[in-house]
A and B are shown apart, each in its own frame.
Chain A
Amino acid sequence: MMSSSSSTREGKLAGLTGATGRRVSQWLAGPVPTSVLIALVIGAGFMLVAGANPITGYHSMLVGSLGSGQGLSTTIQRSIPLVGMALCVAVAFRAGVLNLGAEGQMVLGGLAGAVVALNLPGPGLLVCAVACLAGIAAGALWGALSAALQAWPGVPLLITSLLLNYPARYFVSWMIRFPLKDPASSSVATESYRPEVQIPLLAPKGSAIGDWLAQNLGSDNPLTVIGKGVGWSLVVVIVLVALVSFINRRTVFGLESGINGLNEGFSRYSGVRVNWMTTRTMLLSGGIAGLVGVMLTIGAPTSRLIDGSLIDTNYAWTGLLVALLALYRPAGVVVAGVFFGAIVAGSGQMGRDLSMSPQIAAVVQGIVIVLIAFQVHPPRRRRRAGPPAEADNSAAAVPTNQAEGA
């Protein structure tokens, strides 16, 4: 897999000067389509074992993800948090800040949003905005805690950010189980928010646009269905992608963080204060995670925070994979995020259509993800190698000899 991946990269380079057709065919022979194909074949085997017809299964997967209005709507709904969480990881990893705490930052953001939405009186839109800000702040501060612990006393951020997921996760669970628990409900969940504080749907049933769409395009038209199912979180995520892309390309912070991710020694030498860079990166990354948490918590049609609802979806970890696949580029994050959103949506539909147990659908989904991950490029970190003749002594010789295990 490794060698095929690198040869494809060369193939892509060569393709820049060649014909588009050759480029397309080279891409098709590359690792991504190959992994998808292998995943589908293995998935088919699992479906046979589970007593389902793979062709019907894949058909309903396609319909449930991209081939119908409802499918598209579900795919977009799933893609929004995936793209958001991938963006959170991408801004951090691009800067060389290995934030594995996206999940904790997300759930705390969600909790903060829920607390505001439940308790703050006032106009719905204002409460909604305050809830978003509270979520951003909670995620950002939780993220910055890891940065602070790395600056002093020097615990690697990779470790603290990962471990801080646990207190965050269980604190949120405890909050939902006890202080915020709705005594009237049998499920472990908070009370419902006022409908007007939710992040609204784009064109819900009963709204002017929604009705206009239904009348003029028909109630089954994809646009109508998407309008009914997808909320303003979509717009928020699109803005977020544009914003991150702008930061990367146009700001001092963006240039410095990109360089920092490629070679921290060089960025330090150029006058970048690495600890401060790490802190700012974690504020940004954690803030994005917190905002995603809020969107998952108060975004319609979600009307209350249910225990485990943010974690069970695995958005944070799938988002990490999306970010790696996208090489931390915002545009790539969108493409990869929507692709994974479609897999999640489609496998759900497949499970329902074939009355397959959700576990089998999850297995197929997992296989696709694992196989796609095989071609994940490792994080681009500085490698210590140059033309060998220059490292007069052994510097250049190190990697070779280590590989030999001498």
Chain B
Amino acid sequence: MLAVEMRHITKRFPGVLADDDVSFDVRQGEIHALMGENGAGKSVLMSILSGLYRPDSGEILVDGRPVKFASPLDAIGAGIGMVFQSFKLFPSLTVAENVVFREEPTRHGLYDKRAAAAIVTQIAERYGLAVDPAAVTGSLPVGVLQRVEIIKALYRKAKVLILDEPTAVLTPQETDRLFEVLRSLQADGHTIILITHKMREVMAISERVTVLRDGRVVARLNTAETTGEEITRLMTGRDIDLEQSPPKSAPGAPVLEVSGLTCRQAGQKPAVDNVSLTVRAGEIVGIAGVAGNGQSELAEAIAGLRAADAGTVRIAGTDVTAGSVKVRRAAGLSYIPEDRHAVGTAPDADVASNLAMGHHRRPPLLQHGLLKRARLADFAQRLVDRFGIKVAGTGVLARTLSGGNLQKIVVARELDYASPLLIAEQPTRGVDIGAIAAIHKEIADYRDGGGGVLLISAELSEILSLSGRILVMFEGRIVADLEAAATNEAELGLLMAGGELAGAGKEAQS
């Protein structure tokens, strides 16, 4: 019997077809993995199932009955609860208060604190979710917050639990505990949908797998009958040609030398753990890794946005270990950050200002110590023309641009420095295929112009098509240094999941 059936779901956002005629079903009482690369449409699909978005077309059946969700409240009413990656809890309230929020047990019309605590304890003990109902939520580690979210969903009588990348924030031990919880939930008749791209976990816990790519279902598999390699290939195998020409010349002098770089975080293992790497002029070095394994922190530490606890950073020969972002940029750094809305642009500022930032400290924008609106506009227009950015004018707010065009703003601004080193972090996340091809070409041209690129991406196809050398990052450390020509997606996928090469693959899956 099917617990959930989604038929022919299509969801379109401006400029992006997130889900394209997706049909997806989950059997009663199974643990079902929904897999796909970033932007494959899995989170949007689950957001539709949990009532956050409404599909443009298609229908949803729960326990065989058609349903329409206007809000997450409707979905939870139908027994579907979602545990998001970023938790939605009130940090100042206790665990029990968070769990019963909006459905508080009452006594004589007043909130019954003791009953709430009893409810939480009862659910927690039943499924092995160790929490203290009286603890203030803000003081708890993420692993516990996740349990609180699960209890919250169970309190609302969720029969189907959707977990979005639940292990992304967990240590391996916490992951093991979570899996025990999931198995006991399953034993109690719950159905679980797991959004993930960690192969090892899928192999360990799921019964069936649905793979999405570019908004379409590419495979429905029984976990027992497939392999990590096959799923990786299905997830990443793009048909469109994103191959870039190989570098025209051999790598030159080092433009980035990182040695022993370590970023600790309170109460957890280091985000960046003793990382050493070198990027030379005229080469692209890719860093592959599952999100949350320290790649973002590494990029931030190199850019000067995050303090390092140990190690040195040299950019184009200059030791910038103690330098600010400004010093590092002056030494020859440009940086395409992962989050273009929060870091790469000011969406509420106009396009001209967004393109000017960083360039505004020197000619041609700064003349006689002063800026001028007209010069900013001219400069912006030049970049808009050169990079084919589609905007109504350089005076419009950046937030009005589509994702791909906004990303092009970031790429255009950073490439125009023509600095020796470019850090490109997820340079094509969430942009359409056309923009991906354009951005890839720009990065390859930049390399051929003598720039050195550190490319950080969760997209293996991107890493493989652009990089000369590939480093794999896992739990803050560089665990492999490979020639791009001598490796493949399956091998990288295993390394990214913490597995080992040469016959150890099967072991990592079990």
Q: Does B474 contact A (CB under 8 A)?
A: no
Contact partners of A400 in chain B: CB under 8 A = 52, 72
Pairwise interchain contact B325-A271, C-beta atoms closer than 8 A:
yes
Contact of B76 among A270, A383, A406 (CB under 8 A): A406
Contact partners of A270 in chain B: CB under 8 A = 325, 329, 357-358
Selecting from B82-90, B138-146, B218-226, B269-277, the interface stretch reads: B82-90
Pairwise interchain contact A266-B343, C-beta atoms closer than 8 A:
yes
Give the residue name and chain of the A residue nearest to B153 (CB): A406
Pairwise interchain contact A250-B372, C-beta atoms closer than 8 A:
yes
Pairwise interchain contact B88-A392, C-beta atoms closer than 8 A:
no
Q: Contacts A259-B357, A266-B357, A382-B342 known; A390 to B16 CB distance under 8 Å?
A: yes
Least CB distance from B347 to A in Å reads 7
The residue in A252, A265, A401, A406 that gathers the most chain B C-beta atoms within 10 A of its C-beta is: A406
The residue in B18, B43, B53, B164 that gathers the most chain A C-beta atoms within 10 A of its C-beta is: B43
B428-469 with Cβ < 8 A to chain A: 429-431
Pairwise interchain contact A266-B344, C-beta atoms closer than 8 A:
yes
CA distance A255 to B352 in the complex (A): 11
Pairwise interchain contact B43-A271, C-beta atoms closer than 8 A:
no
Q: Contacts A269-B305, A387-B403 known; A255 to B353 CB distance under 8 Å?
A: yes
Give the residue name and chain of the B residue nearest to A392 (CB): B38
Contact partners of B349 in chain A: CB under 8 A = 258-259, 262-263
Least CB distance from A257 to B in Å reads 12
Contact of B345 among A266, A271, A384, A395 (CB under 8 A): A266
Pairwise interchain contact A392-B43, C-beta atoms closer than 8 A:
yes
Least CB distance from A403 to B in Å reads 9
Contact partners of A405 in chain B: CB under 8 A = 101-102
Pairwise interchain contact B366-A252, C-beta atoms closer than 8 A:
yes
Least CB distance from A207 to B in Å reads 39
Pairwise interchain contact B343-A388, C-beta atoms closer than 8 A:
no
CA distance A405 to B329 in the complex (A): 43
A362-406 with Cβ < 8 A to chain B: 380, 382-395, 397-398, 400-402, 404-406
Contact of A252 among B101, B346, B371, B431 (CB under 8 A): B371
Contact of A389 among B13, B71, B85, B340 (CB under 8 A): B13
Give the residue name and chain of the A residue nearest to B370 (CB): A250
Contact partners of A383 in chain B: CB under 8 A = 347-348
The residue in A269, A388, A395, A400 that gathers the most chain B C-beta atoms within 10 A of its C-beta is: A269
CA distance A406 to B335 in the complex (A): 37
Pairwise interchain contact B84-A382, C-beta atoms closer than 8 A:
no
Contact partners of B11 in chain A: CB under 8 A = 389
CA distance A392 to B44 in the complex (A): 7
Pairwise interchain contact B165-A393, C-beta atoms closer than 8 A:
yes
Least CB distance from A399 to B in Å reads 10
Pairwise interchain contact A387-B101, C-beta atoms closer than 8 A:
no
Least CB distance from B391 to A in Å reads 15
CA distance A95 to B164 in the complex (A): 37
Contact of B88 among A254, A266, A269, A401 (CB under 8 A): A401
Pairwise interchain contact A392-B429, C-beta atoms closer than 8 A:
yes
Q: Contacts A389-B16, A390-B430, A397-B84 known; A269 to B337 CB distance under 8 Å?
A: yes
Give the residue name and chain of the A residue nearest to B327 (CB): A271
Pairwise interchain contact B341-A398, C-beta atoms closer than 8 A:
no
Q: Does B28 contact A (CB under 8 A)?
A: no
Contact of B164 among A263, A268, A384, A393 (CB under 8 A): A393
B303-347 with Cβ < 8 A to chain A: 303, 305, 324-326, 329-330, 335, 337, 339-347
Q: Does B47 contact A (CB under 8 A)?
A: yes
Pairwise interchain contact A265-B18, C-beta atoms closer than 8 A:
no
Q: Does A267 contact B (CB under 8 A)?
A: yes
Q: Contacts A270-B358, A271-B324 known; A387 to B402 CB distance under 8 Å?
A: yes
**Residue-wise interface mask of B (117-158) relative to A, using a CB-CB cutoff of 8 A (1 in contact, 0 not):** 000000000000000000000000000000000000000000
Contact partners of B47 in chain A: CB under 8 A = 394, 397
Contact partners of A272 in chain B: CB under 8 A = 325-326
Contact partners of A386 in chain B: CB under 8 A = 340-341, 347, 399, 403, 406
Pairwise interchain contact A268-B325, C-beta atoms closer than 8 A:
yes
Pairwise interchain contact A393-B373, C-beta atoms closer than 8 A:
no
Q: Does A249 contact B (CB under 8 A)?
A: yes
Q: Does B361 contact A (CB under 8 A)?
A: yes
Pairwise interchain contact A263-B13, C-beta atoms closer than 8 A:
no
Contact partners of B427 in chain A: CB under 8 A = none
Q: Does B14 contact A (CB under 8 A)?
A: yes
Pairwise interchain contact A402-B343, C-beta atoms closer than 8 A:
no
Q: Does B476 contact A (CB under 8 A)?
A: no
Contact partners of A388 in chain B: CB under 8 A = 13, 44, 53
Give the residue name and chain of the B residue nearest to A398 (CB): B86
Contact of B342 among A384, A397, A398 (CB under 8 A): A384
Contact partners of A402 in chain B: CB under 8 A = 88
Q: Does A273 contact B (CB under 8 A)?
A: yes
Contact partners of A267 in chain B: CB under 8 A = 346, 357
CA distance A158 to B96 in the complex (A): 32
Q: Does A25 contact B (CB under 8 A)?
A: no
CA distance A268 to B326 in the complex (A): 9
Contact partners of B325 in chain A: CB under 8 A = 268-273
Q: Does B177 contact A (CB under 8 A)?
A: no
Pairwise interchain contact B346-A382, C-beta atoms closer than 8 A:
yes
Contact partners of A359 in chain B: CB under 8 A = none
Give the residue name and chain of the B residue nearest to A388 (CB): B13
Pairwise interchain contact B164-A394, C-beta atoms closer than 8 A:
yes
Contact partners of B373 in chain A: CB under 8 A = 249
CA distance A272 to B15 in the complex (A): 33
Contact partners of B15 in chain A: CB under 8 A = 387
Pairwise interchain contact B348-A263, C-beta atoms closer than 8 A:
yes
Give the residue name and chain of the B residue nearest to A400 (CB): B52
Contact partners of B366 in chain A: CB under 8 A = 252
Q: Contacts A255-B371, A271-B358 known; A392 to B347 CB distance under 8 Å?
A: no
Q: Does A216 contact B (CB under 8 A)?
A: no
Contact of B18 among A255, A271, A380, A389 (CB under 8 A): A389
Q: Does A355 contact B (CB under 8 A)?
A: no
Pairwise interchain contact B88-A385, C-beta atoms closer than 8 A:
no
Least CB distance from B53 to A in Å reads 7
Contact partners of B73 in chain A: CB under 8 A = 404, 406
Contact partners of B71 in chain A: CB under 8 A = 404
Give the residue name and chain of the B residue nearest to A263 (CB): B346
Pairwise interchain contact B44-A263, C-beta atoms closer than 8 A:
no
Q: Does B356 contact A (CB under 8 A)?
A: yes
Pairwise interchain contact B84-A263, C-beta atoms closer than 8 A:
no
Pairwise interchain contact A269-B343, C-beta atoms closer than 8 A:
yes
Contact partners of A401 in chain B: CB under 8 A = 52, 72, 84, 88
Contact partners of A387 in chain B: CB under 8 A = 13-16, 402-403, 430
Q: Does A185 contact B (CB under 8 A)?
A: no
Contact partners of A269 in chain B: CB under 8 A = 303, 305, 325, 335, 337, 343-344
Q: Does B39 contact A (CB under 8 A)?
A: yes
Q: Does A251 contact B (CB under 8 A)?
A: yes
Contact partners of B38 in chain A: CB under 8 A = 392
Pairwise interchain contact A389-B52, C-beta atoms closer than 8 A:
no
Contact partners of B429 in chain A: CB under 8 A = 390, 392
Pairwise interchain contact B13-A262, C-beta atoms closer than 8 A:
no
Q: Does B360 contact A (CB under 8 A)?
A: yes
Contact partners of A254 in chain B: CB under 8 A = 371
Pairwise interchain contact B85-A393, C-beta atoms closer than 8 A:
yes
Q: Which 3 A-B pairs have the closest CB atoms?
A: A390-B430, A271-B326, A389-B13
Q: Which residues of B contact A (CB under 8 A)?
A: 11, 13-16, 18, 38-40, 42-44, 47, 52-53, 71-73, 76, 84-86, 88, 101-102, 164-165, 303, 305, 324-326, 329-330, 335, 337, 339-349, 353, 356-358, 360-361, 366, 369-373, 399, 402-403, 406, 429-431
| A-B contacts besides A252-B366, A389-B430, A400-B72, 18 pairs, CB < 8 Å | A268-B325, A269-B303, A270-B358, A271-B325, A273-B326, A387-B16, A388-B13, A389-B44, A391-B430, A392-B429, A392-B430, A393-B43, A393-B84, A393-B165, A394-B47, A394-B84, A398-B84, A405-B102
Name 9 interchain pairs, CB-CB below 8 A, sorted by A: A252-B360, A263-B349, A387-B14, A389-B16, A389-B18, A390-B430, A393-B84, A394-B164, A404-B72
